[in-house]
């Protein structure tokens, strides 16, 4: 594999406002990672944006820009998988993955999150190891 960067890769970065990063700017790699089989992984500012195989099939990844959380994956035929995240400030919440299944039927996968104490059967208990 080989990574082709859009900019120079350096050991020390000095920003416009005078800050210095001694090991380069972490997490801001922009470029393309090319695999032996011809698959290309496009990264922008350290996050995966696109995968293209040697036949030209693509997957495009979309993120919530402020927290870099994946919200959609779209293939070269326009089919999309959408990801919705639950409210993490509540005690119990769920995330959902929605997509179009065979025959155009909408499908949803729900991932529930609950505290362990609310997930056990009444006859089960848990304890914290010291």
Residue 44 · residue 30 · CB < 8 Å: yes
Strands 69-75 vs 58-64: parallel, antiparallel or unpaired: antiparallel
pLDDT score for 120 = 81
Give the model confidence (pLDDT) of 20-76 as tens digits.
Answer: 655 544 557 789 999 999 999 999 988 999 999 999 999 999 999 888 899 999 999
Token duo for residue 92: 């119990």
Give the model confidence (pLDDT) of 88-123 as tens digits.
Answer: 787 768 899 999 998 999 999 999 888 777 778 888
pLDDT score for 87 = 86
pLDDT score for 60 = 98
Buried/exposed 52-76: b ≥16 CB within 10 Å, e otherwise: beeeeeebbbeeeeeeeeeeebbee
In the block, which residue shows the tokens 């994956």? 73
- Reported as a pLDDT band with limits 50, 70 and 90, residue 11 is low
pLDDT score for 65 = 83
Token duo for residue 65: 């820009």
Decide if pLDDT at 14 tops 70: no
Decide if pLDDT at 4 tops 60: yes
Burial-class residue 23 by CB neighbours within 10 Å (0-12, 13-18, 19+): exposed
Domain ranges of the chain: 1-8+21-76, 85-122
pLDDT score for 36 = 96
């Amino acid at each position: 594999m080989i990574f082709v960067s859009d900019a120079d890769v350096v050991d020390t970065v000095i920003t416009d406002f005078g800050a210095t990063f001694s090991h380069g700017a972490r997490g801001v790699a922009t470029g393309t990672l090319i695999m032996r089989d011809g698959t290309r992984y496009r990264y922008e500012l350290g996050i995966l944006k696109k995968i293209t195989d040697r036949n030209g099939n693509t997957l495009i990844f979309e993120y919530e820009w402020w927290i870099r959380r994946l919200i959609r994956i779209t293939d070269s035929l326009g089919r999309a998988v959408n990801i919705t995240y639950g409210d993490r400030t509540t005690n119990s919440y769920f995330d959902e993955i929605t997509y179009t299944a065979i025959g155009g039927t909408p499908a949803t996968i729900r991932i529930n999150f609950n505290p362990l104490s609310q997930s056990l059967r009444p006859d089960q208990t848990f304890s914290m190891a010291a």
